[in-house]
């Protein structure tokens, strides 16, 4: 079993839709959770990070962690074509950082 699982997609939505991207993890030692965005043929860039359970909002993006169910989510409101990218979740703790495989998101105009 992978420590961080993520649906590879692609997830196709029309412009303006609310997008929900999700990951699950198996290691209870993970305390910190991140979302990276990776445009085609580019390196990943950190979008958001959260500690333990709860929500964090940054503009159109909301990261949510539910440690009881080991579930990580990223919500994108009013999605734009420029949001089309691969989104990687990551979990960290006890000197370990593990990335999910990434979900490809396509936002059509």
Report the DSSP pairing between strands 11-14 and 85-93: unpaired
Q: Write the DSSP symbol of residue 83.
A: G
Q: Which is nearer to another protein, 43 or 59 (CB)?
A: 43
Q: Which of 102, 103, 105, 107 binds another protein (CB under 8 A)?
A: 102
User: Which 14-53 residues touch another protein, going by CB under 8 A?
Assistant: 31-32, 41-46, 49, 51
Alpha carbon distance 19, 104 (integer Å): 12
Residue 92 in the binding site for another protein (CB under 8 A): yes
Applying CB under 8 A, the residues found at the interface with another protein are 4, 6, 8, 31-32, 41-46, 49, 51, 88, 92-97, 99-102
């Amino acid at each position: 079993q992978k420590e961080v699982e993520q649906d590879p997609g692609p997830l196709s939505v029309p412009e303006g839709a609310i997008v929900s991207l999700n990951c699950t993890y198996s290691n209870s030692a993970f305390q910190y959770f991140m979302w990276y965005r990776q445009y085609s043929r580019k390196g990943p860039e950190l979008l958001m990070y959260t500690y333990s359970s709860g929500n964090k909002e940054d503009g159109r993006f909301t990261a949510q962690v539910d440690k009881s169910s080991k579930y990580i989510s990223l919500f994108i409101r009013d999605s734009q074509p420029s949001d089309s990218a691969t989104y990687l979740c990551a979990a960290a703790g006890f000197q370990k950082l593990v990335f999910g495989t990434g979900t490809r998101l396509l936002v059509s105009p």
